[in-house]
Amino acid sequence: MADLGNAQNTAKVIKKHNFSFRKRYGQNFLIDGHVLDRIVEGALIGEEDGIIEIGPGIGTLTQYLCERAKKVVAIEIDKDLIPVLDDTLSAYTNVKIINEDVLKTDMKALIRDEFAGMHVKVVANLPYYITTPIIMGLLEMRLPIDNITVMIQKEVADRINAGPGTKDYGALSLAVAYYAGTYLVANVPPNCFMPRPKVGSAVIRLSVLQERNVGVKDEKLMFSLIRAAFGQRRKTLVNAVANSAGLSFSKQELTDALKELGLDENVRGETLDLQQFAALSNVLT
Ligand code: SAM
């Protein structure tokens, strides 16, 4: 039985192992059973599924995952947590802990070697200092995974979920939308963690698209246009892209391309959706 989703037992484990929190590793452990239930429900885990957990900490979410999935592989950077995990997960035979930096883990090999024949999902209460590199890394690697369900800063969740014309909409919203559908599972206040983080949190599920839903001839160009447009988001798209150091389109070329797409020449990038950025890059290719 999972016994770690509360403050009392978390404090007991920390005391027993004389563990000191490392701020630099973003260590904020979950102490709320309801939130843990919401995460595992939100991740849509089947009993034949394989789960990759990033940053198991003292094993709180890991216990919940082990009870739902066929197998859990958890990647933890802090070597001081390994003996703690050996203790808190001793009742489970379907878990493997890897003491590694997730940003250096060969995920393709891990999935091939550990999860043959299984549907794979990523579930984590992420270390917030590397939220974006972890999420974008997982998506850009085009791993054979169904979805990614993660606790992240509320502010980053808002940016990922934002649509055209809103203040949170930007390059991150578009980059994620290219690879996945997004769904907000829950908002989570600071008092659900030990120690309490300074920011609010949210759990989001990214359902990985098995096929792209936009046709792009040159992905690199599309993302360069997106970056240029949001690098100077108060400018018109034509001015922002024409001024961009990395791109060499003239104002006339850009105005003509927008016209071809039926868009106003004074349009700002922040009003375009992913399909429109894809179409613009295709016209300019
Ligand atoms: N899963 C636990 C929970 O929910 O209570 C702990 C989550 S805590 C927010 C983030 C965890 O990620 C910590 O255990 C931390 O040591 C670990 N971590 C930080 N950076 C990491 C990295 N680069 N690779 C793997 N784990 C990392």
Mean pLDDT of 190-206: 97
Cα 98 to ligand 1 centre (Å): 12
Q: Which of 148, 173, 178, 171 is nearest to 159 (CA)?
A: 173
pLDDT at 1: 77
Yes or no: is domain 7-208 CATH 3.40.50.150? Answer: yes
pLDDT at 161: 95
Q: Predicted confidence band at 121 (pLDDT cuts at 50, 70, 90)?
A: very high
pLDDT at 213: 84
Q: Predicted confidence band at 96 (pLDDT cuts at 50, 70, 90)?
A: very high
pTM of the model: 0.95
pLDDT in tens, 145-157: 999 999 999 999 9
pLDDT at 152: 98
Residue 56 CA, closest ligand 1 atom number: 1
pLDDT in tens, 219-250: 999 999 999 999 998 999 999 999 999 899 99
CB 171 within 8 A of CB 227: yes
User: Is 59 a pocket residue for ligand 1 (Cβ < 6 Å)?
Assistant: no
User: Is 29 a pocket residue for ligand 1 (Cβ < 6 Å)?
Assistant: yes
- Computed over every residue of the chain, the mean pLDDT equals 97
Give the residue extent of every domain in the chain: 7-208, 219-284
pLDDT in tens, 155-182: 999 999 999 999 999 999 999 999 999 9
Mean pLDDT of 246-255: 96
58, 62, 76: residue to mutate for ligand 1 pocket, most atoms within 8 A of CB: 76
User: Is 31 a pocket residue for ligand 1 (Cβ < 6 Å)?
Assistant: no
User: Is 60 a pocket residue for ligand 1 (Cβ < 6 Å)?
Assistant: yes
Cα 194 to ligand 1 centre (Å): 13
Cα 150 to ligand 1 centre (Å): 12
User: Is 78 a pocket residue for ligand 1 (Cβ < 6 Å)?
Assistant: yes
pLDDT at 6: 97
DSSP strand pairing (50-54 vs 71-76): parallel
Checking 193-199 for CB contacts under 8 A at 24+ apart, the result is: 193/28, 193/29, 193/30, 193/31, 194/7, 194/10, 194/11, 194/28, 194/29, 194/31, 195/21, 195/28, 196/28, 197/28, 197/128, 199/128, 199/153, 199/154, 199/155
10, 75, 78: residue to mutate for ligand 1 pocket, most atoms within 8 A of CB: 78
Cα 243 to ligand 1 centre (Å): 40
Cα 68 to ligand 1 centre (Å): 21
> 219-284 has which fold?
Helicase, Ruva Protein; domain 3 (1.10.8)
